[in-house]
Structure 1
Amino acid sequence: MYWREHDATGYNSNFHKSPLCSCPDHLFASSLASNVSNNTTHSTVPSGISSLGSLPTHHRTEGEIFSSPNLKAFSFKELKNATKNFRPDTLLGEGDFGCVFKGWIDETTLTASRPGSGIAVAIKNLKPNGFQGREDWLTEVNNLGQLSHPNLVLLIGYCTEGENRFLVHEFMPRGSLESHLFRRGAQPLTWEIRMKVAVGAAKGLTFLHEAKSQVIYGDFRSAKILLDADYNAKLSYIGLANASPTRDNYDTHVATVFMGVQGYAAPEYISTGELTAKSDVYSFGVVLLELLSGRRAMDYYSNNGIRCSLVDWAKPYLGNKRKLFSIMDTKLGGQYPQKGAYTVATLALLCLNPEAKARPKMSAVLVTLEKLESAAKPGTKYTETESL
């Protein structure tokens, strides 16, 4: 197994502009699940798009995938018009899979509109020789085209004209959680917002895990958690965890083509390549550590002179009420409830259990986080003498 380099498909996190991307001539162009689904989240969603439930249990042909009534088949010309011919100032970011551009479409007809009118969309293309192959691209179209939830980024449509491969998603104006936590100069997230984001991400994973046909995210990390204008969290890019929908091994969860990002992957995945819902739980625990500490999972840290991961570095502090403060994000300025922080740390420890079977289900993680979110009232001033 080899590790995929970190990508910036959360748009505004550490991307670089490339002539290949900016030049149009080179464009490569369950009851719990029900309860979670009914919890509304404010979002600007095109009125011309309806919503569906869960994935089918059988593999689908390309024709079935592309004929989905929930997706619009955009022409390449429409996408050029929506982005003003992929003008360089519409480039949001670049990752291993391709580039992401900002475009504008009419909310009702979904046709291209003038910048600033209609609704903004994120248009992601696929590099012809990039990390994501055609089968993976089809899987993303298949999955997101049939799954609808307030905490999943909405897939509006696609373009498969000629050699071009594009996906058109709803635009998430605040970019990725990763960007807010680690980008230089970013406005620090308050404790209340961090809990809101954690709850939103947990709702998205719970919905996927509890769906009639279970979906394993498989690549969960802070770069894949996108935020809308109100800091509601939505999961982006749900494609590689399951086998391709056009192959007979659709029901298996052995990752033959997926490559995770080091620092987030569960130990059993590293050793066997097998993904389960509990693999997602482990990755969620890593993101909880990032929210607590403000430190990157992919960086290395020193523990008594020994180079180690964020997980190994933080674990000795998570179960100690008195030591926990020493790894808390200094950008919080001490403005967090010590009891709440310790509860999150304890929850992270449970998610990071080396034994997959011992980790909690995402539904149980969500229940705990929702209680913490309810207790986190905006504007509350915390003191260092708060009782544990």
Structure 2
Amino acid sequence: MATAATILSLRKKLVAATGAESPKPAEAVEILKQLKTQVVATDELLRETKIGVTVNKLRNNDAKEVADLAKELVRKWKADVGQSGSKKTTTAAASTATSSAPSPASAATPKSPTPKAEPTPSTTVASKPAPATASSSTSSSSAPAAPLRRQSSGGPPRTHKADGIDFAKGDEATGDKTRDKCCELIYDALAQDSGAPSDLILTRSRALEAHVWKQNPPPSGTAAYRNKMRSFYLNLKAANNPGLREDVVSGEISITQLYEMDPKDMASEERKAENRKLAAENLFKAQAAAPQQAETDAFQCGKCKQRRCMYYQMQTRSADEPMTTFVTCLSCNNRWKFS
């Protein structure tokens, strides 16, 4: 099993191999294969190395082999974390039951009818270790503390109430019910599946609320303040967007950067891919100003290899660029375009 230092080294190489400037898909594939064979994921290991965040971002990589390996690796690590959580719970429960149940031998053995006698010094010394042994077995069999990432083990999400935080009290309380409520919502969104200390999440949530308040002072900015806080809450709490929460809590995305981001920039990688697909489909379907379509056999469908097609042309770019031709196969309804 790879150590945290080894995983951090592989993560650094993986980031370099998948960079936008000089991507190296073959090298990235080799690193992902090493991670698959060498890493058995746990909550603590993923939080310490952040390798899960890095690999999760590669699920929509342009290189298909890299994207497929990243998806497979994410599924494997989720299973690893689930198994490790269930094993801990089962072991703790079994140990507790064993320590609380009476020994079969002691239960079956009847009490000795030997008359009472004054204990000698040697007898007293011999009889004292028994309570110590029972005490040590009880302490060693106690269940470990529940992990902060409660959703991975099927528990409820982490909240400010579970962490014992009251935003209306303390030196940093705003004194405004609306602002305190916004701080609570941002804290709950950031903390729901995080293993970070509560003080760190508290600092991030207060800093974000204070920055939004400063940029939208009342009374003119009240509506903008509420809209901004609602947008941040909805994007941060999204179940399929753990990467954004992780980056905000860790500081990789600063409060100022987060404030300047549009909702589409805060979306998860899966949502961004869906948006790009929808934009492409909408462009293809934008035929309001298109000329009359004509049937032709000049094009061959790449899907069914037939030549019965309909086509039309549109000027989708500047005037000095060639027109874009949109083609639809009449046999299988496959569509494509070219310039």
Give the TM-score category using the shorter length: under 0.3
* TM-score calculated relative to the size of structure 1: 0.21
- Structure ranking higher in strand proportion: 1
With a CA cutoff of 8 Å and minimum separation of 6, indicate the structure with the bigger relative contact order.
1
Higher alpha-carbon Rg: 2
- Structure ranking higher in helix proportion: 2
